[in-house]
Structure 1
Amino acid sequence: MADIDAIKRRIVMQFQRHVANPLSRRLSSQTLLETTGRVSGQPRVTPIGGRRTGTEFWLVSEFGERSNYIRNIRANNAVRLRIHGRWHAGTATLLPDDDARARLAELPRMNSLAVRAVGTDLLTVRIDLTD
């Protein structure tokens, strides 16, 4: 099963990196997460799905600790989010003890379906917005 998950993850990540993410970044309605590259120190922008609830934004990473944006958050949890075309500063917290599958039921349906379909190692992330 681990080999199948690794192949699935590799295919999906390559598709996201080279096709889906470049197209999604151009959509003004797409929520974007900006992290700081853990090696380069440069801004890294990733299209994400999730939901804002008050001063918090919740999302579930489909590949958990293997996602580059999660690895960047581990190195520096200061992030920015573009929600409805406006950038917000925030602090990301990884929540490995949260029930990510239950969390997906509270998030936008289409994104949650995609995360469940391709995800191999779900991880909940809460971003506390500071502005």
Structure 2
Amino acid sequence: MYAGGRPNDAARTVHRRFVSGPLPRLLPIAAVLEVRGRTTGATIRVPLAVARYRGRWYAVSMLGEQSNWVRNVRASGGDAVGTHGRSQPARQRQNG
């Protein structure tokens, strides 16, 4: 579904249903990240899985640093909003 690190049509369909449905507000590991696209400037909603570590929630890119949502968050200076139960500002942290 993610050949070359990009979602195919089936993955995009799943993404659209996920971000518009109730799961990001109900499931403990589900979240949606809203960030401005670095080329279009349009708000993009990305489904994510999140993990709790030492009392805090983290979204980790399974596709690495070249994932589009990671690059968009970096291009926006870390300006993003996550919905995980409720909407809240998201902050970028870089490992390393």
What is the TM-score with the length of structure 1 in the denominator? 0.56
Q: CA RMSD in A?
A: 2.6
**Matches for 1:25-104 after TM superposition, within 5 Å:** 25-30=19-24, 31-52=31-52, 56-76=56-76, 77-84=78-85, 86-95=86-95, 97=96
Which one has the largest radius of gyration?
A: 1
Q: Which one has a larger percent helix, Structure 1 or Structure 2?
A: 1
Amino acid paired to 1:28: P
Q: CA deviation at 1:54?
A: 8.1
Structure showing greater relative contact order (alpha-carbon pairs closer than 8 Å, 6 or more residues apart): 1
* Equivalent residues, number: 88
Contact kept, 8 Å, 2:38 with 2:75, in 1: the verdict is yes
Separation in 2, partners of 1:29, 1:68: 22
CA deviations over 1:106-130 (Å, ceiling 9, x no partner): xxxxxxxxxxxxxxxxxxxxxxxxx
Separation in 1, partners of 2:5, 2:90: 31
Structure 1: segments with no counterpart, 5+ residues: 1-6, 98-131
Q: 1:16 aligns with which of 11, 14, 27?
A: 11
Amino acid paired to 1:27: G
Structure 1 residues 65 and 54: CA distance shift in structure 2, 3 A: closer
User: Sequence identity of aligned pairs in percent?
Assistant: 22
Separation in 2, partners of 1:55, 1:78: 22
CA deviations over 1:72-126 (Å, ceiling 9, x no partner): 0120111101112x2111221232x3xxxxxxxxxxxxxxxxxxxxxxxxxxxxx
What is the TM-score with the length of structure 2 in the denominator? 0.73
Structure 1 residues 33 and 8: CA distance shift in structure 2, 3 A: closer
Structure 2: segments with no counterpart, 5+ residues: 25-30
